[in-house]
Structure 1
Amino acid sequence: MRRLLAVLFFCLAGCGDETLPRLDSGDAAPVFSTTTSDGQPYTLPAGGSGRPLLIAFWADWCRYCAAELRAIDTLHRRRPGAFTVVAINTGQDRATVAAFARKLDLGYPALLDAGAAITRRYGVIGLPATYLVDAQGIVRGKLLGEADAATIERQLAALLP
C-alpha cells in the first residue's frame, strides 16, 4: 500500500500547472525555510551557509533511503564540522519523520516537506536523491537513486578543504 501511495504521490506531484525545474551543477541551490522534525525552524540561506552542504531527500517507505542516510551519517561523523547535512523528508508528517530519524539515530536534522514544495523546487522525481552544494550555495553534484558511502565520499571530496 505504501508503494502505491508513493507512486501516486510522485505522479500527482508532477501534475499541475508548474513544471519541475531542472537543477544542474553550477545552478544556485534553491533557498527554503521549513522546520525540523522536533519543530525548530530551518532556513537554507541564499548564497550558501559558508561550508559545503549535503541535502538528502528521503521517505520512510523508500527501500534504499535508510541505508543511504546511515552512510551519510557515518561520513558526517567522521568529518565533524567539515560539511553540513540535512535530510529532507518528502511528503510525510512530523511524527513519522521524527520516529524514523530516531530509529536511525541521525546526527543531523531531519526536515519536513509535507507538501513536497522543496522537493519540487529541487526537481526531485525519485528517492533517494542527494544534492551536494558548495559553501557559496552552488549545486556541484547530485546523486539520483541509492548511493553507497564510497560514492558519496568521492562527490564530497571535491567540496571539502
Structure 2
Amino acid sequence: MKFAPVAAALALMLLAACGEDGAKAPVTGDPVRPFVARTLAGGEEIRLPEAVAGKVVVLRFWATWCAFCKDEMKSIEPLWQKERERGLVVLAVNAGQKAEDIEKFVADLGITYPVLLDPGAKVARAYGVTGLPMTFVVDREGKVRHRILGESDMEGFVKMVEGLL
C-alpha cells in the first residue's frame, strides 16, 4: 500500500513542526542536544553528549520510507569505516518506526554504524526535524557545525566531516 509511507511522512512533519516543546532545529554553534536512545542491535543505551564526548558526530534522522535516506545511508558506511578510528561517530536515529520495521532495511544496506530507535519521534521533535533525512554534524567540542535538510552531495559531505576530524 503506497498510502502508508505518505501518511507516515505527513505525520512526522506535523509532529516535528508542532513538537511538544516547540523546538527549533539547532543552528551552527549550538551545543548538541542531550538525549537517551537505544540501539537497534542489542538495545544498548546511548546517552548524548556523554557517549560522543571528544568525537566528531554525524547525527542523522531517517525512516525506511524516506526516498533519499537509503542511498545516503549506504554512502555514509565507507566514510564511517574509514574514519571511525580517527574519532568519527555516526548515529542514525530512526524517526518513530518500530525495530521490526527497520531491521531488514538496515541489514539489506549493510549498515554497521549504530542505528538508534526513537519511539514516538521524541528525539526528532527535540531536534526540530521537519523533514527527512535531516543531518547534523557536530564537532569535537559538542557544537553543531553543519545542518543538512534533505539529500546531501556526498563529496561535499565527506569534506565537511573530514575537515572536523
TM-score where L is the length of structure 1: 0.91
Is the contact between residue 28 and residue 144 of structure 2 (CA under 8 Å) also seen in structure 1? yes
Q: Which of these residues, 68, 73, 76, is aligned with residue 72 of structure 1? A: 76
Q: Which of these residues, 8, 12, 22, is aligned with residue 11 of structure 2? A: 8
Q: Tell me what 1:93 maps to.
A: 98
* CA gap 1:47/1:27 in 2 versus in 1, 3 angstroms: farther
2: distance between equivalents of 1:111 and 1:48?
14
Is the contact between residue 75 and residue 149 of structure 1 (CA under 8 Å) also seen in structure 2? no
Secondary structure in structure 2 of the residue aligned to 1:34: strand
Is the contact between residue 72 and residue 152 of structure 1 (CA under 8 Å) also seen in structure 2? no
Q: Tell me what 1:156 maps to.
A: 161
Q: Tell me what 1:53 maps to.
A: 57
1: distance between equivalents of 2:49 and 2:135?
18
Identical aligned residues as a percent:
34
CA RMSD in angstroms, aligned pairs only: 1.7
Aligned-partner residue type, residue 123 of structure 1: G
Deviation, 1:46, is: 4.9
**Structure 2 spans left out of the alignment, 5+ residues:** none
Deviation, 1:116, is: 1.0
Is the contact between residue 48 and residue 134 of structure 1 (CA under 8 Å) also seen in structure 2? no
Matches within 5 A, 1:7-156: 7-15=10-18, 18-38=21-41, 39-46=43-50, 48-82=52-86, 83-156=88-161
Deviation, 1:102, is: 1.1
Deviation, 1:112, is: 0.4
Higher helix fraction (1 or 2): 2
Which digits, 9 at most, give the CA deviation of each residue in 1:113-156, with x for residues without a partner?
Answer: 12111111111100011110011211011111001321211211
* CA gap 1:35/1:69 in 2 versus in 1, 3 angstroms: same
Is the contact between residue 48 and residue 138 of structure 1 (CA under 8 Å) also seen in structure 2? no
Count of matched residue positions in the alignment of Structure 1 and Structure 2: 160
Which digits, 9 at most, give the CA deviation of each residue in 1:42-97, with x for residues without a partner?
Answer: 11125952111111110000000011111111211122322111100001001112
* CA gap 1:91/1:11 in 2 versus in 1, 3 angstroms: same
* CA gap 1:24/1:106 in 2 versus in 1, 3 angstroms: same
Is the contact between residue 47 and residue 137 of structure 1 (CA under 8 Å) also seen in structure 2? no
Shift >2 Å, 4+ stretches: 12-18, 45-48
**Structure 1 spans left out of the alignment, 5+ residues:** none
TM-score where L is the length of structure 2: 0.89
